[in-house]
Structure 1
């Protein structure tokens, strides 16, 4: 476990676009800086391990969190984010690190999380079943037509006797020609 950890959080939606974190009174140097605003903040589940890379790390969970190590007690943490080219202060407050570490160990959804893929998986499965059914149905139909064609080629006279496309057989008596038993 890291020593001398200080944590902060922000429920301000602008914190998702945070670009820098520094000590407000001294206004010199950044504890954390994000150059690429298009790249989302990392989830908090890996934040503690990332502290070895710098003094502070910013992550997202239910809110935006900041975890710093080795800060002096006189630091007045200040977070800024860009909003259409204008630097904007973001409200940030101290937070219990134990709660953050506990939440980081329990997966949470991020404020900007995408919908789960379960509906997509079900839709894909149904689509595959429909496609397989269509392919099997087409194969059975083509096999039936091929069989029927080959039967017609082998015995043309018998083929002429079979109903064609739902019509009547060709060598059959009409209703008027059928003798009835009544006299």
Structure 2
């Protein structure tokens, strides 16, 4: 993800997460930590037909990585793009030398839970009332050893975080 991707990412973000969409400032802040030798973040976008079809982000701290976000445009859901983005985040966690990867997902998002389970994530707890509004619980999941799954052939391209001034 680059700075010029933020506006189209925000459109997708607001469509998919209208109640708790990230702000422009939140994305800028994450990208500010994604460059240089002290980088602790990796943000990606997936493009199809010249448009952003999905995005994902990971934060690393010591031996622990946390999946911050994964989003796929509605018309690309079910195509394997979410899995490809997750695989890239797990590669990033390995590059950051993280031994564990954590994430949260809505307890009612069964599709996401199945994706994470396919990659080896296991449920480890709940965060009550994590998603607002609605007071929806989050399922906390953990992966002890990041897998190195290859990208699916024919999938939209995914590129790594970069900030160009």
Q: TM-score with structure 2 length normalisation? A: 0.26
- Relative contact order (C-alpha < 8 Å, sep 6+): which is higher? 2
Name the larger-Rg structure.
Answer: 1
| Greater share of strand | 2
Q: TM-score with structure 1 length normalisation? A: 0.24
